[in-house]
Amino acid sequence: MRTQNQRAWFFVLPVLVLVAFNALVPLMTVVNYSVQETFGDNRFFWHGLGWFEDVLRSERFHAALGRQVLFTFTILIIEVPLGVAIALTMPRKGFWVPVCLVLMSLPLLIPWNVVGAMWNIFTLPDIGLLGYFLNNVLGIDYNMTQSPVAAWVTVIVMDVWHWTSLVVLLAYAGLISIPEAYYQAAKIDAASNWAIFRYIQLPKMKRVLTIAILLRFMDSFNIYTEPFVLTGGGPGNSTTFLSIDLVKVALGQFDLGPAAAMSLIYFAFTLLVSWLFYTIMTKDEQ
Amino acid sequence: MAKITLDGLRHSYVPDPQSEADYALKRMDLEWKDGGAYALLGPSGCGKSTLLNIISGLLNPSEGRVLFDERDVTREPPDRRNIAQVFQFPVIYDTMTVYDNLAFPLRNRGVPASRVDARVTEIAEMLELGDRLRTRASGLGPDDKQKISMGRGLVRDDVNVIMFDEPLTVIDPAQKWKLRSKLKELHQKIEVTMIYVTHDQTEALTFADQVVVMQDGEVVQIGTPVDLFECPRHTFVGHFIGSPGMNILPCDVHGQRVEFQGITVPTAGFPEVPDGATAEIGVRPEFVSITEDGGIPAVVRKAADIGRHIVVEAMAGDVPVSAVIDGDAPEAGSEVRLRFDPAHTRVYADGWLVTREGAI
Amino acid sequence: MTLELIDVSLRVGADMHLYPTSLRLEPGEFNILLGATGAGKSTLIRLAAGLERPTGGRILVDGTDVTGMSPQKRNISLVHQFFVNYPHLTVFENIASPLRVSRVPKSEIEGRVEEAADILQLRPMLHRRPQELSGGQQQRTALARAIVKESKAIFLDEPLANLDYKLREELREQLPELLAGRGTVIVYATSEPTEALLLGGHTALMREGRLTQFGPTAEIYHQPRDVASASVFSDPPMNFAPVEKRGHRMHLGSALDWPVYGAAAGLPDGAYTVGIRPHHISPVDPPDPSIPIRGTVRITELSGSESVAHFDIADRVWVSQSAGVQQFQVGEPHEFHMVPTHCFYFAEDGKLAAKGIADG
């Protein structure tokens, strides 16, 4: 037997160390908190799976999770078709290509908290451009600090504005990789525009759309900064998503045990859904 | 099905062509009869793809008309011309089964389901895809995918012409051979006009009843494979068709006597070389033989036994001459005498055939 | 130098990409790897060049084990099927790049680049960039880069596959002269049997990840070891049929039988497979003693230089290939003639049992 070259491990080591420090160690700390009870003084007592039971039974958690799922579902339903639709209308060659690409990328370059602050000011009923316009020109009673519906609509519109571009860019990349011969063949086969979309463009975009949906799912499911800056989770708890609730529990009430259990459940849920989705989408690629 | 007429066709990619050189496709008039098998043959950049795209309607010609039967279709889009095209790389609808792929062009045209089923089954049988109708098309090999592309053209009984744009590029030699004969067989069964574009002379010659040889946007010769092989009208055709290509040898013409390396070479018919033109002898390697006496002395440079015959490369003075012979391969370095078959030895002036055929 | 592979294999997961293969490659001559796409030619080249590590076996250069050595240290060149050049560098810089990497003195570089450029007729293009060149010129640039550094081994992985037919012919003719007399090991992968015969040297036949036969090209063409080798090294594909030997006669189905002599006559009675190349089935009565076969003509391909006919025989389709122009009637029976001295008889395990007596 020849000895295998073991040197490769040496090159992987830095990454392993990095992952350990920024993911595994903090995660273990969280696991540690989630199974113990503390009364301060750095004294801990074994609490088993108690916190997990509490969290899973808590109405507050159910409500936050429900809001989270509704939010993510809504923005996916809007952003993916909208993104694909915009990508389809973008030019495939010529002068306008770079212009469109730059315009599309702009929202993606703005930091989360700035987006939140922008929309907060934008929608103020007295001085915000949109808020003023809705209230005083169109006569719609719009105030997201008081109406949960208004708050929801604002959060969703903001997310759509901020993130649809990502879907557009990915879908566009999928579209331009389709060889011209496919369109020519479809023309010759007398395929309608819908058939071209359904049987050529959509299948060829499948991979990039899978990535787009995954990214948008994970990002929107973990969303924190934008709604926090925009609504602070209100009015009431109407826009308190899981992440916002988690921070309230952990830092507002300093209930470290329940907060730790909650983050682990949250994490496991995100992981599970992503895995399921990815497995189903790539199942028949073998 | 239809007769195809190209009437004064000309195309330039330059918006305002000034000289002849600006035309990617020089003026051409052609008539292709219904149900024939035609090939467009030439090196890359000779204009054959431009011509194909004009016939299929993917490109509008700068001048001239395209007629299907007597109908002017010059400005009509591809889907209104009732044509089918098979591309260089197989185009299939990934998410569909083989059956649905074949049925697609019929369903799009609102053909009733029973008729669709009958046609798809029939064509799949011919293409030997019958046992895989229910499998997903994306899992098949390139040769089967290319069969599906062909099948989508064949299922329609309203097609005027099926066009093939270098369809065997991505196919392995052994499969290439099978697919080529399949295509030939299909053409014999379904007598639809087929136009086959290729740079590969073997594909063109074995497929077509009539081959159009193109160079620099111009038609150099149109003829049956046998015509092109036996009597090329231009040295380009002689060189491009045949492997190895025709020997094109410098010569001196004195009246009607043709001399190569100082030795008189009998030719088919009589040469009429215009004053000042460069005269050359054209003779295919297949019509060069090794003889005991007479002929042209030469030294063998290389001899390759390629199975069915031997390809000899010899030097007559400083001019290389190829010969295709049967029997034993001569040793490299040995001295031989070459004989040109007079019935297939012709004279070309500035590239064009100038021997007037009397004998044949 | 010599390059030796000893039981080299590559397993990826559960798939054997290359079964244990032993080969000894000598410098000077062409070593051709012949096989269809996916037969393992490229795998073998990648392993021999050190681009991939074998999962079993050893690779020796002049007797020294280099199995784990990186390709950078091995001083080899590789020319790929696709024209791989640095797009941002001129042709000169492209050719010079391997010399710069191995720190050849500046004063020497210019001379060596120009020498390589002269051999490949690239002198006028030295200051252009690759995308301004034709496909043939681009591939010649890649070849110049391979020969400029005087490497110990040059690997050519289907270098002509993406070129136009005539260019392929030209470059193929020049290649042996370009690479001759360098004392380097030359490994040339191709999927075309005719190309192997034209290049000569030694040939390794590959099929489905296995080396089926290795030896002097002409020799293994005439003496295939088994059915697999015979199928790989035949274009058009060899005709096969099951036969039964009874006494001194071979029986194909009930309608056809012929006498056997020599080694074939000495075989024990029983089932065999007969194999005969298409050019040994003649549509006219040949001078050699032959067996008449009547078959219905299915497809004909007349290219001028040769005639090919597909015909039915005992539920199979056989192919006849002959020189010149022959007359066939599609759908009608035709009498073909098989020369039994060119038949190969394979035993049930696929190994060659005997061949007809005369040279195949």
Mean pLDDT value of segment C178-193: 86
Average pLDDT rounded to a whole number, residues C259-281:
91
Query: Which partners does chain C have (≥3 C-beta pairs < 8 Å)?
Result: B
Q: What is the pLDDT of residue A285?
A: 61
Please give the distance of CA A69 from its chain centroid, rounded to a whole number.
11
Mean pLDDT estimate for chain B: 89
Predicted local distance difference test score (pLDDT) of residue A6: 67
**Whole-angstrom Cα distance, residue B176 to residue B183?**
10
Residues forming beta bridges with residue B254, ordered by sequence position: B257
Peptide bond just before C340 cis, omega within 30 deg: no
**C159 plus C224 within the same structural domain:** yes
Res. B260 pLDDT band, cuts 50 70 90: very high
What CATH number should be reported for the domain holding residue A129?
1.10.3720.10
CA C276/CA A147 separation, integer angstroms: 88
pLDDT per position as a tens digit, B67-109: 998 889 998 888 888 889 999 889 999 889 999 999 999 999 9
Report the share of chain A in percent with pLDDT over 70: 95
Determine the Cα–Cα distance for residues C38 and B143; give it in Å rounded to an integer: 14
Is the CB of C200 inside 8 Å of chain B's CB atoms? yes
Helix extents (H) in B127-265: 142-154, 173-189, 201-207, 225-230, 235-240
And the tokens for A61? 């958690």
Question: C55: closest CA among C8, C21, C4, C6?
Answer: C8
Give the CB-side neighbour count of residue B270, counting CA atoms within 13 A: 5
Which CATH number do you get for residue C334?
Answer: 2.40.50.140
Q: Domain of residue C302: give its range.
A: 239-355
Alpha-carbon span A113 to A226, nearest angstrom:
6
Check pLDDT > 50 for residue A1: no
Read off the tokens for B41.
């043959």
Return the pLDDT at A2.
Answer: 45
Q: Cβ C302–B172 below 8 Å, yes or no?
A: no
- What band does B350 get if pLDDT is binned at 50, 70 and 90? very high
Give the pLDDT of residue A5: 62
pLDDT tens sequence across B117-153: 999 999 998 888 889 899 998 888 888 899 999 899 8
At residue C180, does pLDDT exceed 80? no
pLDDT for the residue numbered B171: 82
Cα separation of B228 and B202, whole Å?
12
Locate CATH 3.40.50.300 in chain B.
4-235
Nearest to A199 among B56, B78, B93 (CB): B93
Average pLDDT over residues B276-281: 91
B344 secondary structure, DSSP code: G
Whether pLDDT at A3 is above 70: no
What is the C-alpha to C-alpha distance for residues A152 and A71, in angstroms, rounded to an integer?
8
Task: Kindly state the percentage of chain B with pLDDT values over 90.
Answer: 46
Q: Which residue has the tokens 């993917």?
A: B58
Q: What is the number of other CB atoms lying within 10 angstroms of the CB of residue A192?
A: 10
Q: Are residues C252 and C316 in the same domain?
A: yes
What residues contact residue B313 under an 8 Å CB cut-off, 6+ apart?
A: B300, B301, B302, B303, B320, B321, B322
Q: Do B241 and C194 touch (CB under 8 A)?
A: no
Q: ipTM of the assembly?
A: 0.84
Looking at residue C155, which CATH number applies to its domain?
A: 3.40.50.300
Model pLDDT, residue A40 = 65
C278-317 pLDDT tens trace: 999 999 988 888 899 999 999 888 888 889 999 998 888 9
Beta strand pairing call for C76-79 and C3-12: unpaired
- For residue A116, being part of any structural domain is answered with yes
Cross-strand partners of B28: B9
Numbered residues of chain B with Cβ closer than 8 Å to any chain A Cβ: 56, 58, 77-79, 83-85, 87-89, 91, 93-96, 104-105, 108-109, 136, 149, 152
Q: What is the domain count for chain C? A: 2
Render pLDDT for A22-60 as a digit per residue (tens, 0 to 9): 888 888 888 877 777 776 667 777 777 777 777 778 888
Q: What DSSP designation does C330 have?
A: T
pLDDT attached to residue A4: 56
**C188 and C87 fall within a common domain:** yes
The residue among C178, C122, C118, C174 whose CA lies nearest residue C154 is C178
Q: What superfamily does domain B4-235 belong to in CATH?
A: P-loop containing nucleotide triphosphate hydrolases (3.40.50.300)
* CB-neighbour burial class of residue C56 (10 A; exposed 0-12, middle 13-18, buried 19+): middle
pLDDT digits (tens, 9 = 90+) for A158-213: 889 989 999 999 999 999 989 888 998 898 888 889 999 999 999 889 889 998 99
Mean pLDDT in residue range C177-196: 86
Residues C226 and C243 in one domain: no
Cβ–Cβ gap B105/A187 under 8 Å = no
Tell me the pLDDT of chain C averaged across its residues.
88
Distance CA B153, CA B210 (A): 21
In sequence order, the β-bridge partners of residue C64 are: C61
User: In CATH, what class is B245-356?
Assistant: mainly beta
Mean predicted confidence (pLDDT) in A62-70: 86
- The continuous run of DSSP H or E covering A12 comes out as helix A7-19
Chain B contact set for C37 (CB, 8 A): 172
Distance, CA of B154 to CA of B187 (rounded, Å) = 10
Residue C214 falls within a domain, yes or no? yes
CB atoms within 10 A of CB A280: 10
Residues C315 and C190 in one domain: no
Q: Which residue of B has its CA nearest to A186?
A: B105
Q: Which DSSP helix (H) or strand (E) runs through C156?
A: strand C153-157
Nearest to C184 by CA among C77, C33, C42: C77
pLDDT digits over B322-333, tens only?
Answer: 999 988 889 989
Does the pLDDT of residue C241 top 90, yes or no?
A: yes
Residue at A37 is within a domain: no
Q: One-letter amino acid identity for A144?
A: M
- Nearest Cα neighbor of A49 from A254, A252, A266, A265 is A265
Strand, coil or helix: B214: strand
Indicate if C227 and C300 belong to the same structural domain: no
How many structural domains is chain A composed of? 1
Question: Are C226 and C277 part of one and the same domain?
Answer: no
What's the predicted TM-score (pTM) here?
Answer: 0.81
Identify whether C360 is part of a domain.
Answer: no
Q: Mean of the pLDDT values across residues B174-200?
A: 87
SS3 A216: helix
